[in-house]
Amino acid sequence: MRNGYQERADTGSAATRQRELAAFLRSRRERITPDSLGLPVAARRRAPGLLREEVAQLAGIGVTWYTWLEQGRDIRVSEQVLEAVARTLRLDRDERAHLFVLAGTTPPPATKDYVVDEPTRRLMDAVLPFPACVQNAKYDLLAHNRAYARLIGDLSTVPAVERNSMWLAFTDPAWRAALPDWDVVTGRMVAQLRARTANHLDDPAWQAFLRRLSAASPEFARLWDRHEVTEAATEHKPVRHPRLGLLRFDVATSWLAPSSNVRLVVFTPADKRTAARLPLLTAE
């Protein structure tokens, strides 16, 4: 095993599967436009869709390894890497399963069944310059607009497997610095996560996330062990932006799939100063 990968012996069926995997990844990569992810678009861009380097960067994996994967090289990829690639390429549930099968791996239970549709993505763009995102019950960031991507740090530089607001709040210094009431916010988030966990006790991906976050953050582990629970409520959220200063928001939540706690979250300005400064978030 090396860097989450291991070499494997080639067979006729394996070689066919590798060719299919290469073609599938290339087709999924070419259908995504850079501007849909908030990436700069060069004046002369020869290839359609994303570049391999961009997929690797967004997924948080090595360019060489992703290139070999798309070229059908004789490698086996870890489940974590496949999940990151699936999220980066916006694969739906069926496409994700297909990716795992082509990679020679049995797909684990999906961490989320909800697929953010294009009307919802257009809605998030329509509310600009208000920051907006779609989250599931585990705080995975399933989609976001350009304002949200730039509200705290630069979300485009965060590996796909770490695009979870709970994970970032406890492990990313930029997120901690951006939340003036960090203790209050994280305490409420952990209590909400604890309440939702009752419906996911048998979900391996959910439990693996809790173990990983507990190992990465003693503060999370301490709060988790309190067993406090609370339901979601309307929030007032201040955010300290390094360039724009203190921004104050009221958080509006719309449930897209109530049974699975998938929600559209929009940060609306709570004062005139925030409203006046919001357009600067997306200014080039």
What is the residue whose two structure tokens read 């901690």?
A: 176
**What's the pLDDT score for residue 5?**
40
Predicted structure pTM score: 0.63
**What's the pLDDT score for residue 106?**
72
Residues of the chain with pLDDT under 70: 1-13, 36-47, 107-113, 233-234, 259, 284
CATH T-level topology, domain 118-281: Beta-Lactamase (3.30.450)
| CATH classification number, 5-102, choose in 3.40.50.300, 3.30.70.20, 3.40.50.410, 1.10.260.40 | 1.10.260.40
Task: Tell me the CA distances in angstroms from 241 to 178, 235, 238, 244, one per residue in order.
Answer: 6, 18, 10, 5
The structural domains of the chain, with segments of one domain joined by +, span 5-102, 118-281
Write out pLDDT tens, residues 42-53: 655 666 788 898
Write out pLDDT tens, residues 158-198: 888 789 999 999 999 999 999 999 999 999 999 999 988 87
**What's the pLDDT score for residue 240?**
96
Give CA torsion, residues 219, 264, 251, 244, to 10 deg. Answer: 80
Calculate ∠ Cα 259-265-270, nearest 5°.
140
Q: For residue 200, how many other CB atoms are within 10 A of its CB? A: 19
H/E stretch holding 162: none
**What's the pLDDT score for residue 93?**
73
Q: Are 24 and 98 in contact (CB under 8 A)?
A: yes
* Fold match, 5-102 / 118-281: no
**What's the pLDDT score for residue 11?**
44
Distance CA 240, CA 182 (A): 11
